[in-house]
Amino acid sequence: MPVEINCCERQAHMDRVQGTIFDIQRFALHDGPGIRTTVFLKGCPLRCIWCHNPESQDFNPQLSFDRAKCTDCFRCVKACPAGAHKVVDGRHVADHGRCCLSAKCVEACPNGALKIIGRKQSVREVMDVVIRDIAYYNNSGGGMTISGGEPMSQFRFTLELLKAAKEKGIHTCLDTSGYAPGDLFERVLPYTDLFLYDYKATDDKEHLRLTGVSNRLILDNLDLLYREGASIILRCPLVKGINDTDEHFMGIAEIDRKYPGLAGIELMAYHNMGHEKYERIGRKPEMEMLPTTDEATKESWLERLKAFGCGKAIIG
């Protein structure tokens, strides 16, 4: 028999359940239908070589230093209790490995060159932001999207956030790599109106090389969700010369044939806007910076997919 909880207990529960998030974007237009608020969770088990949100991968908060905004005033050097800021050859250098997350440097910096990416927030705190735009969701067919990182890696928080949104009548999208235990997907399914489901490489060895994990679990979960009636848009990140192979296009077309009720197939063309973020968090990019995908390449992808029998795909 379901346990009834009263309103105060529900509020207390929403305060107790916390997640680590790195951003909340209001008025998002590319994370599902309509106008949306997208909640970005920190932490991902994958390491896609093209990832344009490298700050989403680590599960913990981390220091970001934007060299372009730094005027070498060295206030952070004095403020930092951990010695994470140094002067080398007359210029400020951040030593990310020493950062103790005190944020003293962030307070000291006059130029906004430093920030700590990632913060703990409760379901209630996030919902306080999400509900502000209910009128826009209702007028545009929008809602809330949970993205990342991989939201399923913070399963409890994601589940409770989805439930809280549904209690307010808000449309929910879950933007996922599909890489999580199948039973967890079954548990979020009743509260998820639409899955934005990544498909990155058809050949399993290639998937492992490009993302760090096998695609078997991802394909199993896609099958499971489809058979249980989930609404799914397949999202295929494509990088020219990396995974835009005939084999992969045939794989996408095969998925289209196998799951004709997919709500859509979107090709997510590589752009290089996230490249400099690696340096800001003290990492080397996994892949050299490539040109942002041009329109002719996107068109040719659609044509090739059509030739393999998939006319449903659009550029996302």
Could you tell me the smallest distance in angstroms from the CB atom of residue 271 to ligand SF4? 12
Query: Which of 35, 114, 222, 267 is in the footprint of ligand SF4 by CB under 6 A?
Result: 114
Query: Which of 20, 37, 56, 153 is in the footprint of ligand SF4 by CB under 6 A?
Result: 56
Query: Which of 154, 177, 192, 243 is in the footprint of ligand SF4 by CB under 6 A?
Result: 177
Site for ligand SF4 contains 51 (CB under 6 A): yes
Could you tell me the smallest distance in angstroms from the CB atom of residue 4 to ligand SF4? 38
Type of residue at 291: P
d(CA 118, CA 42): 7
d(CA 192, CA 224): 14
Number of residues that bind ligand SF4 (CB under 6 A): 26
Site for ligand SF4 contains 103 (CB under 6 A): no
* Ranges assigned E (strand) in 72-122: 85-88, 91-94, 114-117, 119-122
Query: Which of 18, 38, 57, 154 is in the footprint of ligand SF4 by CB under 6 A?
Result: 57
- The residue (of 14 and 51) whose beta carbon lies closer to ligand SF4 is 51
| Tokens encoding 49 | 């070589």
Site for ligand SF4 contains 43 (CB under 6 A): no
Nearest alpha carbon to residue 311 among 248, 246, 249: 249
Nearest alpha carbon to residue 131 among 108, 110, 94, 161: 161
**CA 78, 81, 85, 90 torsion-angle sign:** positive
Residues that bind ligand SF4 (CB under 6 A): 44, 46-48, 51, 53, 56-57, 70-76, 85, 92, 108-109, 111, 113-114, 148-150, 177
